[in-house]
């Protein structure tokens, strides 16, 4: 009997100055890593867990792509840029500091990190359901890819929502945090 197994190494980009200052970036604020973020990416590239990756699929945004480039160079593996790995469109909340976001949109923020309320989103942006649907489309494509050890470089909202859909707890991923998922014969497991 044939059993299909794939390893997915999901990671959030390294730190940016906007992360440090508590400003929501979303997809419209396309900034690169700061010095801490570059060191985080270098440290992530040295972890033994990601060493098995055969390819990195990356968001095209600078912060994710810069993280990807550092890791791919160290591991000597190819990069494939996928637009759907871009951070969620957070509408008018982009460029706003978290304290103000909580003050202006308390109901949205109350429900943003919960697995419920999938149709909530910031004015002018995507809903959580739309963000998750993009990630699920990509994962379906990658399940059919030839590689069995796949790294994905993306962003907080995209990764968090996908992880919740496969049993994660919904907590925000720290910068350059790696999560190892295994897909084994139709079942997801977070290691």
**Is 87 labeled as catalytic in the residue annotation?**
yes
User: In the numeric block, which tokens belong to residue 145?
Assistant: 């890819």
* Cα separation, 19 vs 97, whole angstroms: 10
* Cα separation, 15 vs 31, whole angstroms: 10
DSSP 121: B
**Is 15 labeled as catalytic in the residue annotation?**
no
E strands, 100-177, are 149-154
> Which one of the listed residues 15, 66, 87, 126 is annotated catalytic?
87
Q: Are 153 and 13 in contact (CB under 8 A)?
A: yes
Q: Are 33 and 15 in contact (CB under 8 A)?
A: yes
> Which one of the listed residues 13, 94, 126, 155 is annotated catalytic?
13
Tell me the catalytic residues. Answer: 13, 87
């Amino acid at each position: 009997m044939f059993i299909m197994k794939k390893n997915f190494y999901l990671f959030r980009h390294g730190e940016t100055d906007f992360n440090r200052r508590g400003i929501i970036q979303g997809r419209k604020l396309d900034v690169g890593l700061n010095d801490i973020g570059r060191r985080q990416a270098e440290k992530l590239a040295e972890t033994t867990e990601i060493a098995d990756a055969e390819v990195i699929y990356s968001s095209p945004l600078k912060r994710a792509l810069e993280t990807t480039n550092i890791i791919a160079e160290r591991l000597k593996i190819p990069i494939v840029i996928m637009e759907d790995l871009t951070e969620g469109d957070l509408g008018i909340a982009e460029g706003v500091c978290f304290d103000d976001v909580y003050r202006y949109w308390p109901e949205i923020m109350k429900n943003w990190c919960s697995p419920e309320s999938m149709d909530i989103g910031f004015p002018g942006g995507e809903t959580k359901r739309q963000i998750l649907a993009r990630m699920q489309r990509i994962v379906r494509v990658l399940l059919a890819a030839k590689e069995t050890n796949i790294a994905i470089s993306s962003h907080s909202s995209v990764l968090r929502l996908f992880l919740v859909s496969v049993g994660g707890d919904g907590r925000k991923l720290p910068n350059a945090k790696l999560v190892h998922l295994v897909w084994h014969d139709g079942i997801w497991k977070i290691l």
